[in-house]
Structure 1
Amino acid sequence: MKPFDFIEMKVPAKSEYVGVIRLSTSGIANRMGFTYEDIEDLKVAISEAMSNAAAHAYDDSEEGEVTVGFGVYEDRLEVMVADHGGSFDLTKVKQGIGPYEQTESIENLREGGFGLFLIDALMDKVEIKNDYGVIVLMTKYLHMNENEVGLDDDQISTTQ
């Protein structure tokens, strides 16, 4: 497996910080070459996971934080959103995580299950770990658009 870059951010578990993560997601995904539609899907899915953590992970009296990790690979972006968590050890998290099944009782994870259905619909792969708090690992694969590749080749041949 090729090496990957890992970016980690911690923000207060407050809804007003969702926009910060959305902007970061957009910048990372754009740099990787994702399409506009895929970037929008990523932003919506990550916003849902962030909003869920901000709304349900902590009591009103707690000053919690949400950790967001971006695993930037050549062919995909893996995004982890965790509440009640410290820094990620990506290998350990991935060993203990399981796939999200739509047959699971959403109440076992947290209120507001619609967000998880939406995340599952927008992402290529969703895995959840809920030992202590919740970690949502979302994967979006980078699909090269063959038409765009062909267009570049045509442009090169006509300009030579």
Structure 2
Amino acid sequence: MRCPFCAHDDSQVKDSRPTEDNTAIRRRRQCESCGARFTTFERVQLREITVLKSGDKREPFDRAKIEQSVDLACRKRGIAQERLDQLVSGVQRQIETLGESEVQARAIGEMVMEGLRRLDAVAYIRFASVYRDFTEARDFEEFAGTVRDVGKP
């Protein structure tokens, strides 16, 4: 594993343990060149998945994009990081169990919205405002008016 500090190619694993939701392995590493310590995560990937975006554009599935979107929607909401990780892992599992090598970006967005709907009303509306491209305050009002029983399992 390449060191993020000095870019040396070799590091030594000092500690390994599963994450709290058992979807990844957390590894503490130490660079053999500069001695810096850093953490990596190893996750199972069942198959290579391509995301079909609008305009026939294709790109490889990137879990980090979902993590970033969820983090942004949930910013300052006081939601435990563990719950956000579970949401992202759940969406990734749904995508992988579809059995398809290509998935519509729209379908991924809907999966994320459903997860956020059950997690937090404000995060759900925040994500929807970007995902559904709200352009006026009226768009927010209409969507918020449809939100009922959000955050309840």
TM range (shorter): 0.3 to 0.5
Larger Rg: 2
Instruction: Calculate the TM-score normalised by the size of structure 2.
Output: 0.32
Instruction: Calculate the TM-score normalised by the size of structure 1.
Output: 0.31
Higher relative contact order (CA 8 A, sep 6+): 1
